[in-house]
Amino acid sequence: MYDDILVPTDGSEAVDRALDHAVRLATDHGATVHALYVVDQRVTTANSGDLHDEVVADLETQGEAAVGAVADAAAEAGIDAETHVVHGTPDAEIVAYADEAGIDVIVMSPEGKSPRERIRSLGSVSDRVADDASVPVFLIK
């Protein structure tokens, strides 16, 4: 039923709960877990010059660590994993990746960022993904 499972990650502890669920699904279905981190262009374009480059590099490093943690958890469970760090607006990139990669289900946490960050980013990324995705979205609290 599920061959490819997408786990968007922001590197927060809340992702662990979603990841546990995704790993169980992947184990049950022999699926591949796809880890996706989006370097938020709204953050990077707010800075200019050397600061811009520094912010982008820092976010890319955080992204590589975040998707690496997902891949490590998948490997520990004996599951194949793919990792991707992309640039853009998180909800749009998650939905686009799901469509382009033939993802069967998205598993994510609605609680990754602090309330202040959610307000600043105009609401919940997970809500927008759930509204716009063409595949099922499991929101794991």
Q: Cα–Cα distance between 43 and 98 in angstroms, integer?
A: 23
Give the chain's end-to-end CA distance (angstroms, integer). 23
11 pLDDT exceeds 80? yes
Q: Which domain holds residue 74?
A: 4-139
| Predicted TM-score of the model (pTM) | 0.89
46 — pLDDT class (breaks 50, 70, 90): low
**Neighbour order of strands in the sheet with 105-108:** 81-88, 32-40, 4-8, 105-108, 137-139
* Residue 11 backbone dihedrals phi, psi, to 5 degrees: 85, 0
What pLDDT score was predicted for residue 68?
A: 98
Cβ atoms of 66 and 60 within 8 Å: the answer is no
CATH number, position 97? 3.40.50.620
* Residue 58 backbone dihedrals phi, psi, to 5 degrees: -65, -45
Number of domains in the chain: 1
Q: Which span out of 13-17, 43-47, 81-85 was modeled with the highest average pLDDT?
A: 81-85
What pLDDT score was predicted for residue 44?
A: 74
114 — pLDDT class (breaks 50, 70, 90): very low
116 pLDDT exceeds 50? no
